[in-house]
Amino acid sequence: MLSTSKDLLYIVLAIAVLWLTIFSCWLLYYFIAIMREVKGSVRDVRDKIHRVDEALCHIKDKFEHSVSIFAVMGEAVKQMVGYLVEHKKETKTKNKK
């Protein structure tokens, strides 16, 4: 089987290549597993950022709606105050006569 030292060298090289292949496959497997975890984490972060963005848009819409209601209410209060001031002036002029 082993007639020369060259045959022994080929056997040792074959075993070394086999171990290198096994190690490379093992390393590649763990690298793929890590990348899968990273992909999942990135997806989770994207989902959370999307939810935060939706919440902020919802809050912004509510705030804009509230501001528009306050503008309408402010106009109504302004008209009521104007009416009361006019009414008060009319009662003062009626009382003076």
Confidence of residue 64 (pLDDT cuts 50, 70, 90): confident
Separation between Cα atoms, residue 53 and residue 48, nearest integer Å: 8
- Span 4-53, pLDDT tens digits: 999 999 999 999 999 999 999 999 999 999 999 999 999 999 999 999 99
| Helix (H) or strand (E) segment spanning residue 74 | helix 5-96
Q: What is the residue extent of each domain of the chain?
A: 1-97
DSSP letters for 13-52: HHHHHHHHHHHHHHHHHHHHHHHHHHHHHHHHHHHHHHHH
Confidence of residue 69 (pLDDT cuts 50, 70, 90): confident
Residue showing tokens 């709606």: 65
Q: What pLDDT is recorded for position 68?
A: 77
> Does the pLDDT value for residue 97 go beyond 60?
no
Q: What pLDDT is recorded for position 15?
A: 98
